[in-house]
Amino acid sequence: MTPISQAQLQDPSKASSIVESIFEKGYQLIKESRNWTLKYTNDNILTRYIKLPKDSHKYYQRCSLHKDVTYDQLRELLFVNHTMNQPKYTNLLEEAVFLSKLTAESEIYWLGFQTPILSYSREFIQLIATRETGRRFMVVSQPVDYPNMKPRKGYVRGKYQSWESVEELEDGTVEWICISQGSGGGYVPGFIADYYVGRDLHQNVLGVLKTIQQDNIKEK
């Protein structure tokens, strides 16, 4: 994946166009991902994958259906103040730092992750955008190239892209899908990075459900 350049985002019209294209890609990937190869099943959480010829890393899709949590509860944690809520439920995410506002739907953040099995922690500079249409919302994340912002001491800069979609279906069941592709940077081989992404992707669902229960996030 190629990070978005900081220069492109400084032009408001280009920034809006980039954000729109990211959402459109997300809608298409979510549609296509229903036919990807099944890799893992963890209770009601399915993980699928695809390896495209032009990409060095696999795309993973995580999909689950929920009656144990409502659309509004997920919206409160995943859509409202999305990035600043992430450390509550994302394993190893230490800190999220706001860097700048781009459009009405998008902002740029620095994210720092602990990586106990590696010598350096990982940091990511990401464009985060959110959009809600009816009873469906999507959160997208794309890497941004910040050439004048050097990695923090003790960190290696990685990059990832993701699309997270939550939709309330006709019977009240909530469908939650996340598509992710990432590289931790440094000298970690691609197949190892892919293995950990695919293996652990279901953990975010468990973390979110636990946080909703602990924080007593109520249905509106």
Degrees to nearest 5, angle at CA 109 with 47 and 14: 95
| pLDDT confidence band for 119 (50 / 70 / 90) | low
Strands 121-133 and 155-157: parallel
Give tens-digit pLDDT for 204-215. Answer: 899 999 999 988
CA neighbours within 13 Å on the CB side: how many for 29?
A: 29
Distance of CA 44 to the CA centre of its chain: 20
Taking the CA of residue 192 as centre, how many other CA atoms within 13 Å lie in the half-sphere pointing to its CB? 8
pLDDT of 147: 83
Choose among 93, 90, 140, 133: nearest CA to 113. Answer: 93
pLDDT tens-digit series, residues 11-30: 889 999 999 999 999 999 99
Answer for the pair 170, 143: CB distance below 8 angstroms, yes or no: no
Domains of the chain, CATH where assigned: 4-214 (3.30.530.20)
Q: What is the pTM of this model?
A: 0.91
- Separation of alpha carbons 105 and 19, rounded Å: 8
Highest mean pLDDT among 43-57, 72-86, 118-132, 172-186: 72-86
The helix (H) or strand (E) run that includes residue 204 is helix 203-214
19: left (phi over 0), alpha (psi -120 to 50) or beta: alpha
Whether 15 and 195 have beta carbons less than 8 Å apart is answered as no
Report angle CA 171, 173, 174 to the nearest 5 degrees.
140
pLDDT at 25: 96
